[in-house]
A and B are shown apart, each in its own frame.
Chain A
Amino acid sequence: MAGVSLREVVKRYGNVEAIHGIDLEVIDGEFLVLVGPSGCGKSTLLRMVAGLEEITDGTISIGDRVVNDVPASQRNLSMVFQSYALYPHMSVRRNLAFGLTNLKMPKPEIERRVAEAAKILQIGDLMERKPRQLSGGQKQRVAIGRAIVREPQLFLFDEPLSNLDAELRVQMRVELAGLYNRLGTTMIYVTHDQVEAMTMASRIAVLSAGNLEQLGTPVELYERPQNTFVATFIGSPKMNMISGAADKGGITIPDFGTLEVPGSVPNGAISVGVRPEQFCVGAGGDVSTKAKITLVEYLGSEAFVHVVLSSGAKLMVKASSHAAHKVGDELVLGINKAEAHYFGPDGLRLGYFDDDR
């Protein structure tokens, strides 16, 4: 097992800089998820750790060894690809054993490891099949099996579940989490699916346009997003952003009213973020207003209500599915000051009421 540390890592393709100097410390034995919208550089970063992309600037170390110039095969890591990348002409058994044979490992040891991986992943009866005779979920298991037989100090996953259908994805997510608990090896996992990120990660690194936006536990990212990007990226449906203003009297939220802030508040524009599930529907809240319902999305366990305020601002509110909300009805919405998030004009978090949370 080993931690990974990235220091001022830069990736340039010709004149285009894709990664702008990222510092990231992956703790030994943690499950770190890299998440971000497509094109944010998360896969590039993973491939640089794997040794499949050259590092333009900065250093990457695995354990206490700088690996910038170490070829992929000698970094003692395994990678699971999005397309599985199973060798189509080899049986499952040979797919699993291929890497170990290349390491000139003794035969009994190879057989022991292959058998153990087959047992863990329950693919024992598929061993003589070719990849084309496997279903998507089975291919995924074999791909993971190929990674674990090497008993590496680091696992890399590049969107491994995105080719699976929704039901299988949930199942494999649980199995991957179980595998992590069993092995306890450091894992770096790339995904664009925030549900995967939130459910599996020890810590999440949110990336955007080649920059690290925030690194923290799922709870930290949800409760204290450091900027508007993380605030709107984490959470589904996404956080409502209301533009307000701050002055001596406190924070003024249009339609709702003014929140008093202890201590002094610098004057200026401010964004107030409220998650759909954090509105007080019906009554309550430190400030409140009336809103008109424009659309109701009924999901069974809950309902998402789209509303418009008298100023014309549109918000999305999560409501109980039992309340019979109808389009055209009026609704009273309240905001608890400690449950809202406040961001300055530069998009960075202002820590108002953080102590009350």
Chain B
Amino acid sequence: MTDLAAPTTADQVREVAAQLRAQRQRQQRNAALLKHAFLILCTLIMLYPLIWLVLASFKPDNQIFNQALSLWPEEFKWQNYPEGWNGLAVSFTRFFGNSLFITILAVIGNVLSSSFAAYAFARLEFNGKNIFFAMMMMTLMIPYHVVLIPQYILFLNMGWVNSFLPLIVPKFLASDAFFVFLMVQFFRQLPRELDEAAMIDGCSPFKIYWAIIMPLSLPAVATASIFTFIWTWDDFLGPLVYLNNIDNYTAPLALRMFTSQDSVSEYGQMFAMSVLSILPIVLFFVVFQKFIIRGIAMSGLK
């Protein structure tokens, strides 16, 4: 940077200030350009598989892998969508319906049961609270695959295999320690004086949970909802183990049926249905992430 002589008159001061201001603006603009170029590049790298999937869903099967490097289809084959929708023995209306049914019940069950359990751990006094909490936390460390077989035998003996029950009922029993823990942490940071004010205002513990704690915990509820939605919607292993009848299949199970070892795989149709199966997750996220932001704006009591 060139040294500027210390200005003496008022005009000189203005001139020097204007010079410095212009210099600073130039530097800031260059830095911003560089930063954005880098970020756009990173975004493209991350989005590439998704873009490839969406564009491939419009290609005829013979072009998908022959011209895998050229993104843009030579001609758009829209028929992949209607053909894919009805391409299997049962239409995708059924599969999406099944997925939606299981996922919505799982979200409701998880939010209700986890917040119940969390409220008990965070606010109520009962014998063995710490031991129960420690036990719950330990279940976080057990991989799903360890409990898979005992759980399967349990549900088999109950006669629940080949129904939606094994995928839904556990969600109503606060079986997801992660969400219980998430909510316990959130409830604990809500000031206890709110509970006490509500007690004096004549609230039962359930009323405190319902009228005070839950409305203030929308960020935690939204987080639990979003993750439960994504994880249940995407779940492949659970439905694979418990659902045998094609009428009960969820979307991920159905997608697998497009590829087969012995006959010709319909990749174009599979990609078309894959694109459709991503949409609910995107929509759900867009709707619920607002609550996360709104919830943060609600805190700050004093």
Q: List 18 A-B contacts (CB under 8 A).
A: A52-B196, A72-B199, A72-B200, A73-B199, A73-B200, A77-B200, A79-B196, A81-B193, A83-B302, A84-B302, A85-B197, A86-B197, A89-B215, A98-B198, A98-B201, A131-B301, A132-B298, A146-B201
A51 to B211, CA, bound (A): 21
Instruction: Say yes or no: A103 contacts B202, CB within 8 Å.
Output: yes
Inside 8 A of B216's CB, which chain A residues have their CB?
Answer: 88-89
A contact set with B: CB distance below 8 Å: 50-52, 71-73, 77-79, 81-89, 98-99, 102-103, 131-132, 136, 146, 163
A88 partner residues in chain B, CB cutoff 8 A: 216, 298-301
Closest to A132 in B: B300
How many interface residues does chain B have, given as a range?
Answer: 20 to 34
Contact string, B204-235, partner A, CB cutoff 8 A, digits 1/0? 00010001100110000000000000000000
Within 8 Å CB of A50, what residues of B? 196, 200
Set of chain A residues within 8 Å of B202, measured between Cβ atoms: 73, 99, 102-103
Q: Does B128 contact A (CB under 8 A)?
A: no
Whole-angstrom distance between the alpha carbons of A73 and B201 in the complex? Answer: 6
B200, B212, B302: which has the most chain A beta carbons within 10 Å?
B200
In the assembled complex, the Cα of A226 lies from the Cα of B197 at a distance in Å of 37
- The residue of chain A having its C-beta at the shortest distance from the C-beta of B302 within the complex is A83
Contact with A along B159-203 (1 / 0, CB 8 A): 000000000000000000000000000000001011011111111
Residues of B within 8 A of A72 (CB): 196, 199-200
- Could you tell me if B193 and A83 are in contact, using CB atoms closer than 8 angstroms? yes
Given contacts A50-B200, A71-B199, 18 further A-B contacts (CB under 8 A): A50-B196, A52-B196, A73-B202, A73-B203, A78-B200, A82-B193, A84-B302, A85-B191, A85-B193, A86-B197, A87-B197, A88-B298, A88-B299, A102-B201, A103-B202, A131-B301, A132-B300, A163-B302
CA distance A131 to B298 in the complex (A): 10
Q: 4 closest A-B pairs (Cβ-Cβ)?
A: A99-B201, A102-B202, A73-B202, A85-B193
Check A85/B201 contact, CB under 8 A, given A102-B207, A132-B298, A132-B300.
Answer: no
Q: Which residues of A contact B196 (CB under 8 A)?
A: 50, 52, 72, 79, 81, 85
Chain B, residue nearest A73 (CB):
B202
